[in-house]
């Protein structure tokens, strides 16, 4: 039975993201459907990692179904956290996965801004799907902290592509995750967090990695 192929977009993004669309078009030419999941449920201000995990769990299907999950940034973190608890996930492709999300945000914001976020329950951001100002409630990061403890314990074949110039999620996080794990292959590219310039190489790497699930 062929696996389901799922694509998980990043934070403040959506199912029509550039990388998700590129994967969709690339594999449609091989008659492979990449299902673009919408993780903005019930809405962007109400994002919860726990809800995202449930969306992925439901999308895979029944107990005998299998899935290959492609995740970008927060979608990559979501993919790994679901994979460590869901034996139906057969393989992962992670694009600049947002490892250690709460720890990084706490450091980047600093003590005062973190406390202000907790007090006001609003962190101002730009919604990259609409281009409009938006906010993230503190409950989002509180939910992440309950789930994202240490690095995920993933034991399935995993391809990571991460940019060496990534200032959002430093590549050292992917290096730490990959270190000592023979089933994890890390490809470093000269790119930033968006990885748009590296899309041709990403798709080439994905073709090689997915051979056992796609055929020659």
pTM of the model: 0.96
Q: What DSSP element (H or E) covers 8?
A: strand 4-8
pLDDT of 45 > 90? The answer is no
Instruction: For residue 124, list its beta bridge partners.
Output: 135
Name the phi and psi angles at 164, rounded to 5.
Answer: -70, -15
**153 falls in which pLDDT band (50, 70, 90)?**
very high
User: 53 and 146 in contact (C-beta within 8 Å)?
Assistant: no
The mean pLDDT of 4-24, rounded to a whole number, is 94
Q: In 3D, which of 149, 147, 188 has the Cα closest to residue 165?
A: 188
CATH architecture observed for domain 4-100+153-214: 3-Layer(aba) Sandwich (3.40)
More confident residue, 56 or 45: 56
What is residue 193's predicted lDDT score, i.e. its pLDDT? 97
What is residue 12's predicted lDDT score, i.e. its pLDDT? 84
The mean pLDDT of 131-149, rounded to a whole number, is 94
What is residue 216's predicted lDDT score, i.e. its pLDDT? 53
pLDDT of 205 > 90? The answer is yes
Q: What mean pLDDT, rounded, does the chain reach?
A: 95
pLDDT of 120 > 80? The answer is yes
pLDDT of 1 > 60? The answer is yes
The mean pLDDT of 153-169, rounded to a whole number, is 97
More confident residue, 26 or 12: 26
Question: Where do the structural domains in the chain lie, given as residue ranges?
Answer: 4-100+153-214
Name the phi and psi angles at 106, rounded to 5.
Answer: -60, -40
pLDDT digits (tens, 9 = 90+) for 76-99: 999 999 999 999 999 999 999 999
């Amino acid at each position: 039975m062929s696996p389901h192929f799922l694509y998980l977009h990043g934070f403040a993004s959506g199912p029509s993201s550039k990388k998700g669309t590129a994967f969709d078009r690339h594999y449609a030419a091989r008659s492979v459907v990449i299902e673009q999941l919408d993780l903005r449920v019930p809405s962007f201000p109400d994002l919860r990692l726990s809800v995202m995990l449930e969306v992925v769990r439901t999308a895979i299907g029944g107990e005998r179904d299998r899935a290959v999950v492609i995740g970008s940034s927060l979608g990559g973190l979501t993919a790994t956290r679901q994979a460590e608890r869901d034996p139906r996930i057969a393989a992962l492709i992670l694009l600049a996965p947002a490892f250690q999300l709460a720890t990084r945000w706490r450091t980047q914001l600093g003590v005062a801004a973190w406390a202000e976020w907790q007090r006001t329950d609003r962190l101002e951001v730009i919604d990259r799907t609409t281009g409009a100002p938006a906010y993230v409630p503190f409950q989002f990061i509180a939910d992440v902290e309950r789930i994202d403890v240490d690095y995920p314990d993933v034991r399935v074949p995993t391809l990571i592509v991460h940019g060496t110039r990534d200032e959002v999620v430093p590549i050292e996080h992917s290096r730490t995750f990959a270190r000592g794990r023979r089933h994890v292959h890390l490809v470093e590219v000269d790119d930033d967090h968006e990885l748009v310039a590296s899309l041709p190489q990403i798709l080439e790497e994905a073709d090689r990695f997915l051979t056992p699930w796609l055929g020659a």
